[in-house]
Every structure is written in C-alpha cells, then in structure tokens.
Structure 1
C-alpha cells in the first residue's frame, strides 16, 4: 500500500451494543463483511434458504474512517469496497470479554427460548441498548489494513485492555436470496413483540414448519395468521388490522389477494434474537413466496466523529427466507417426527 494508514478504522464507545446487534444474526459460524464509506455490513446465511444481514452505519461509531486502497494505476477504476469472511463466533466472544456481568453473556447462541427477563425489562422501561442495561461499557477500536490482513479489535475498560486479531478469509461469491420489492403479495408492520410471542407459542408444539396465510381486509376474519402443527397438536395465531382498537396489531396492512406460504420453522427460530430486541418489524412476502423480515432496533447513536449527533439512533436487521415447495412441508414433518429445526 502507498500509505501506512489502515483501510478501515472505527471506534465504538459501547462494545455491548455491537455485541447485541451481531448476536441477532449469529445462527451461522461465519459472517461475510463488507466495508464502505457509509458503514460496515455483516451478513450470514444457511443452506441458501435463509440469510440475515445488518448494516452498522458510521453514525453508530464515535469515529469512523475509510480509506479505500488506490487503483494499480491512474487509468484503472477504483477498486471495489473490501469484502472478506470472518469467524463470527470468535468476534462475538471477543466483544463479550467485558460482558461477563451480563446474565445473558454465558448463554450459548441457541439457548434463547426463554424471554421472561426481556419482557420484564421491557415492561420496566429498560431498553436493551440503554445505558442502564449496558452498564456504560468498554471502548472498542477496529482496524483493517487491507486484503490479507486480520480484522484487529482493541478493547479497553476500566484500565484493562485486550487486543484480538481475527483472521480474514476470501469471501465466497454467493448471491443473495432474490426479493422482489416491487411485486409484493403482503406488506405489514407490527410491534416485534407480537411476532415473538406468536413464534414462541407455536414453538411449544415442536413443529417442522410454519404456514403464513393472509387475506384482503375486505374479507371477514383475521387479516393474517401463523399456524403450525406438531406431535402435540396444532395451533393458529391470528393478527388483525382492525382500526377500531387504539393499538391495532397490524399497524399497516397490504394484501390484494389471499396468499399462503410455508417455511421451515427453524428459520423463524434463527430470527428470535432480533424479535426480542427490536421495536417493530416490517413483514413482506413477494409474489414468489420469499419472506422478508426487517427489524427496527433502537440504539444509542454515538456522538462525534462518526457523523452521528448523539441521542437515539436505529439499526435494521434483515432476514430473508425461502418458502417450502408444495409437498415439501409434509415430507419434512414426517421425517422430523414432530421435532423442529434447531437454531444451531
């Protein structure tokens, strides 16, 4: 490189905030990372049937600097933003070093079925990203020198410091799951806790798959429902956009024609962490049956150098899920013997 300065460097005043966000997509061991002038993007996927990604914009950092590598010559186009893969499990363990006092810190990524403490904190007015919940945390510095270099993380809290160099790997050229934003069969927004409660209730049946059904509001009955069946029976959770209530379950709802799609239940379990920490969720289904869940997570934006102006900010965690083909759900249910897919 022509300069000694790193391609990317950033400082966060709250390592636990980053930890909580990245845990939302921690169903896979490796994460694809893309760095740009606007922020850093992490994504995970499993079997080309589910993918999740989160974009940490530079305003979430107290300082953020991106210096793209120069082209080989003045006639060449600027190089693409750096992309690489890292071991996400190792990154989470690094960010968790100063979180040993957090009761959730010792839980394995899959052990997230009990949300009682989350609900108590929510009703008590404690946001998962508030200073009270985070305990005003350690400073975390990221550095990346360029292709082949490790992602270096330096953390400091109360005079204790630690540095970790995470090996970076060449990123696979896997394509994202296509989602037709301009051809939607369903679009709705609701509080994320409503979706979490529904998935948690249905999970007690140990189902193999979950079915989403929606109908236009002009028809009687529920506007949207989630149903599942397992060895212990079957259940359906209904959602309505009835505006006669001061707090309708579905805040917005669009569904021109009746539609139904089924998914492996384990895919929804992958998203339970995001459901637990998010404020709202935008649920969209395109005409091919691909499901998009976009979670709005309220966070404290850093003040200073990163472009933020302090106060409350937000981050979005996105999931895309591929539906089961006709008959696949029945076969999965028979093979599973009523057991749902594990999240790990």
Structure 2
C-alpha cells in the first residue's frame, strides 16, 4: 500500500530508536536502478547485514538474481540486529548468499521477504517508472550513440528515469519481525509532495541455492557491458529460445577485429542463439578492447533458456562492466557492475547484480 499524505518537507531523523534498519539517501535513482535490475519476480528475499542489503529473486527454480547494495550507496545506514538473534537456521540460510570474506565479517543478519513490485511502485510514485515500466525495459534496445556515451553511467541513469534536475530523497525503516517496511520519500528541493509507504513483510521461505564453483571455473570473461548489450539486444525472444555460450582456448585463434564477427572458424568466444527461425552466431576475437579478461583452458559449450537470460537485460542496460563465468557443471554467473555516478565517499563500494542460471539438460 502506498499513499501520498500531504505536501510538506520530509523532516524525519536519520535514525529512530528501536529500529532494526534505518537508512537514508538524498537521491534514490541509483538504489532504484539496482532494484529494477532484478525486477522479474513478484517476491524478493531481503537480507540486512552490517555491510548493506542483499536482495534476491528467483524464477522457475532455474535462475536467481541478487542485488548487492552496500551501505555506501546510502547517505546514512544503521543496522541494529534484533534481540534475541534470529534462529540459527535463518542465519545459516542468509549466510549462503554471502561471499566467504563477507561471511567472516559478521554473522548477524536479518532476513525477510518483501513484495518487490510494491516496493518499486512506492519508490517510483513521483516518477511513474514503477515495476510495470521497468519490466518493459528488459527488451529495449541499447540507447543510440557510441560506446563512450553508453558507458556514461550518469547519462544512462538520466535516460532510464527520464532525466530532469529534480531528485527524490528517501528514508527507510524496519522495526523487526511482524512490522512493515516503512518508507518516506520526498522531493529534495523541499517544495514538492511527500509520501509515506508501508510495505508488508513476510517470513522468508528460502530461495533456490545456486552456487558457482569458483575453483572449477572453465570460462571467465570480463568485458564492457556495451558489447554484451549489443549482442543480446539484437535477439528477438519470439524467434529464439536457446542461448549457447562457447569458449575456446586462446591458442585456437589469433588476434583480429575488435568488433563481433560472424565469419571466424573458431573464435575464442561465441554466443549462439537458436529457435524456430534457425540460428545466429556472434563471434568475439582476442582483442583487449573487447574482452578485457579471458580465461579458458579447454573448449566448452553450455546452453541456457533465453527466457532466463533475458531477465538480465534490465541490469545490463545501466551497468558499466560485465563478468561472465561458467563452472564445470555449466552453472552460469553474470555479474554487472553498477557504477554509482557522482560518488562523494572516498573508497565507496559500488553495487552490483549477480545472475546465476542453471544450464539446460542435454537433449533439449
């Protein structure tokens, strides 16, 4: 439920006594871009930690998407673990989503389930870019312009949210189990309307646990997101239902054109889409301007449902760099670095989105 109360300044303190979570930001666009990047499921698991928020969704028991939103994203972030602490089983489930280094920093976490669409609608009440509009953006083509423009994160955020000089600030509070997620938003100029939203929270039911085996990674690629955007945005989901990633050792091909090619006999990296109309291939050669990092010791090929990969397009639209990893079981990890424009905190950690997808079974 989200209701506009009246026109007045937000005027809330940075922290409220007794709150498990209290945070504030003077510009919600970056926070919104991270949430919209995983907006393909109605319910999300939110894990509150001392280092920030971890918000996860899943689809078809085959793909998960996690937005890692570090506390540096906000102007103020305070997490006070509830007393008594959550049950051991809940803490253990939440810790599975943390990296080993983060797991050792603190075992204190609070896990809850929220309706993601409702949260997005409330945060977007003044912009009109809520859950429905962000879902439509998953299939949009890249913004016209050269690659330098595409890699201008501030420009992409302005384009994504419609631009303009006005900014919306937000305060978010959570008092603990059984309480709603309370959000207050307002125009930071102090002359616009404000709104107060209460989002229902639920006990977590547990998300699909997909884990990439970093010790058994058979293909690792880091590239500018614009190159991956260009490849995936050309594919029509009505025509293609399977996406195959093919990797070959560096010795299999010499350096060549920096742009994707459709003629190479054995490229180091190939994206192949197939469906009812046939197939198409996009090849990448060994050029550091395209593939900044490439690691592949043996030829590998794994296929995935294109409908699952399409869920990553929203995050791809506003990301700066992308990482593609596949382990020996075919588990695919797509990580998107969401660079924060106008950073003011020295050494602030950037948010990112991590997609994990199971491969298609052989014979499909």
Spell out, residue by residue over 1:129-159, the C-alpha distance to the aligned partner (whole angstroms, 9 max, x if none).
4699463411100000011110000001134
The question of 1:144 aligning with 2:174 is answered yes
* Matches for 1:1-344 after TM superposition, within 5 Å: 4-71=17-84, 80-100=108-128, 107=133, 109-117=135-143, 119=145, 123=149, 125=152, 127-129=155-157, 133=163, 135-157=165-187, 158-203=191-236, 206-220=239-253, 221-243=266-288, 247=289, 249-300=290-341, 303=344, 308-309=345-346, 314-328=350-364
- Call closer, same or farther: CA 1:150–1:301 in 2, change over 3 Å: farther
- Cα distance in 1 for partners of 2:107, 2:287 equals 51
User: For the Cα contact (< 8 Å) 2:321–2:337, is it kept in 1?
Assistant: yes
- Call closer, same or farther: CA 1:118–1:50 in 2, change over 3 Å: farther
- Cα distance in 1 for partners of 2:53, 2:166 equals 23
Match of 1:333 in 2: none
Which runs of no fewer than 5 residues in structure 1 stay unpaired?
A: 329-344
- Cα distance in 2 for partners of 1:299, 1:204 equals 30
- Cα distance in 2 for partners of 1:199, 1:50 equals 17
User: Which is worse superposed, 199-208 or 274-283?
Assistant: 199-208
**1:110 to partner: Cα distance:** 3.4
Spell out, residue by residue over 1:288-315, the C-alpha distance to the aligned partner (whole angstroms, 9 max, x if none).
0000011011113665xxxx349x8621
Give the TM-score normalised by structure 1. 0.82
SS of 1:18 mapped into structure 2 = helix
Runs of 4+ in 1 over 6 A off after TM superposition: none
- Call closer, same or farther: CA 1:152–1:120 in 2, change over 3 Å: farther
TM-align CA RMSD: 2.7
SS of 1:325 mapped into structure 2 = coil
Which runs of no fewer than 5 residues in structure 2 stay unpaired?
A: 1-15, 86-90, 92-105, 254-265
**1:127 to partner: Cα distance:** 2.6
Match of 2:88 in 1: none
User: Which is worse superposed, 174-183 or 19-28?
Assistant: 174-183
- Cα distance in 2 for partners of 1:121, 1:154 equals 37
Spell out, residue by residue over 1:205-224, the C-alpha distance to the aligned partner (whole angstroms, 9 max, x if none).
62111111111010133101
- Cα distance in 1 for partners of 2:63, 2:205 equals 16
